[in-house]
Amino acid sequence: MAALAFLAAVFVIAAIAGEVLRRRIERKTPPVGEFVETGGVRLHLLDIPPREESAAAPVLLIHGASVNLRDMRIAFADKFPRRRLIMVDRPGRGYSARPKQGWRLAAQARLIRDAARSRGVERPILVGQSFGGAVALAYALAFPDEISGLALLAPVSHPWPGGVAWHNRVSGWPVAGFLLRRLVIPLWGPVAARRGLKGAFGPGGAPDGYLRESGLPLLFRPKDFRANAEDLRRLKTEVAAMQSRYGSIRAPTVVLADEDDPTVSARRHAMALARDIPGAVYEALPGAGHALHHAETDRIVAAVERVAEMAARAQSGGAPAG
């Protein structure tokens, strides 16, 4: 009986601690966009209009693992004066709700597409980084006639040897996962995140004030951490199921990566993907690291404009760029 009482007390303390943590983080990092509901799921979306009047295709930015839409906002908010920018917290991340089986790439792609369409966005250029690249691929496969093109930044696209980090595995365990998310992650997570930034951002490091401006602490809320861990645990199976279909993608595509990326192997993913998608263009960004959209923002903007030119040429009946 004493052991059961002790265990019950630990669970109560963990539940209270997780709720206190969530409220504290959300006070410091409130939503920056608006909320839309699609398919009964409430998503957080940021819609940035162009500064100049233009009919240019909008850009739909899909963030990677562990971060939220603020990561894309930091890199691109003022970089496309003629294009409308749409950023969405992926389901279960940031301030977006998580449906059942929200880890499925196809489910995330559909919800993001429906959220953008609810705002009148048509035929966007998809920009996906890392995990967001996998979601962008699922989007292109599911809605091939609804996009203008793809710019994929250090995307995850193929299976890889090995698994995921221990904390993402443990998060899926019934009891240990509950305690991990509420008692361990609040203390250990911020320390690990600082170490992770050094690896992800390469020699140039993260932008000044990145931890504060990116809202990265949102990851350490129990539900957000659980969703992120589940996304990563399921990702290999998801991309394995998609990879045989990449040859059907006809949208103009540019794939960019640092060939020394320590997080996502460019050879196994980006370079292989560029070979799999007909007409895709591969561009190496040496020294950019995994978070290449911060290190080489202007070159990525140029790549997006190149995708737009390829799309315009294809629409007018010209030969696709290669």
Residues 6 or more apart in contact with residue 158 via CB below 8 angstroms: 239, 240, 243, 268, 269, 272, 273
30 inside domain: yes
Expressed as residue numbers, the domain containing 118 is 2-314
Whose tokens are 């007018």? That residue is: 316
> Higher-confidence residue: 209 or 236?
236
Nearest to 72 by CA among 220, 316, 291: 291
- State how far the Cα of 20 lies from the Cα of 22, in Å rounded to an integer: 5
Is residue 260 within 8 Å of residue 167, measured between CB atoms?
no
What was the pLDDT predicted at 318?
Answer: 57
142 inside domain: yes
The mean pLDDT value of the chain amounts to: 92
What was the pLDDT predicted at 43?
Answer: 98
Q: Is the pLDDT of residue 8 over 90?
A: no
Q: Is the pLDDT of residue 235 over 70?
A: yes
Chain segment 82-112, per-residue pLDDT in tens: 999 999 999 999 999 999 999 999 999 999 9
- State how far the Cα of 196 lies from the Cα of 39, in Å rounded to an integer: 35
Is residue 154 within 8 Å of residue 130, measured between CB atoms?
yes
Q: Is the pLDDT of residue 4 over 70?
A: no
DSSP 82: T
321 inside domain: no
Chain segment 239-286, per-residue pLDDT in tens: 999 999 999 999 999 999 999 999 999 999 999 999 999 999 999 999
What was the pLDDT predicted at 90?
Answer: 98
- In sequence order, which ranges of the chain are alpha helices (DSSP H)? 2-28, 69-76, 105-118, 131-142, 166-170, 174-179, 185-200, 210-214, 222-242, 270-276, 292-295, 297-315
First-to-final CA distance of the chain: 70
What was the pLDDT predicted at 23?
Answer: 80
- State how far the Cα of 174 lies from the Cα of 158, in Å rounded to an integer: 29
Q: DSSP of 16-51, one letter per residue?
A: HHHHHHHHHHHHHS---SEEEEETTEEEEEEEE--S
Specify the CATH number for the domain of residue 112.
Answer: 3.40.50.1820
Which tokens sit at 311? 């799309």
271 inside domain: yes
Angle between helices 297-315 and 69-76 (to 10 degrees): 90
319 inside domain: no
54 inside domain: yes
Q: In what helix (H) or strand (E) does residue 255 lie, and over which residues does it extend?
A: strand 253-257
- In sequence order, which ranges of 217-259 are alpha helices (DSSP H)? 222-242
Mean pLDDT for the stretch of residues 187-198: 81
C-alpha distance from residue 38 to each of 120, 160, 227 (Å):
13, 33, 19
What was the pLDDT predicted at 14?
Answer: 63
CA of residue 165 relative to chain centroid, distance: 18
pLDDT band at 157 (very low <50, low <70, confident <90, very high): very high
What was the pLDDT predicted at 7?
Answer: 54
What was the pLDDT predicted at 73?
Answer: 98
Three-state DSSP at 134 gives helix
Is residue 267 within 8 Å of residue 308, measured between CB atoms?
no
Nearest to 271 by CA among 154, 165, 150, 112: 154
pLDDT band at 120 (very low <50, low <70, confident <90, very high): very high
Mean pLDDT for the stretch of residues 219-225: 93
Residues 6 or more apart in contact with residue 243 via CB below 8 angstroms: 157, 158, 159, 276
Chain segment 16-75, per-residue pLDDT in tens: 666 777 788 889 999 999 999 999 999 999 999 998 888 899 999 999 999 999 999 999
279 inside domain: yes
183 inside domain: yes
Could you give the number of structural domains in the chain? 1
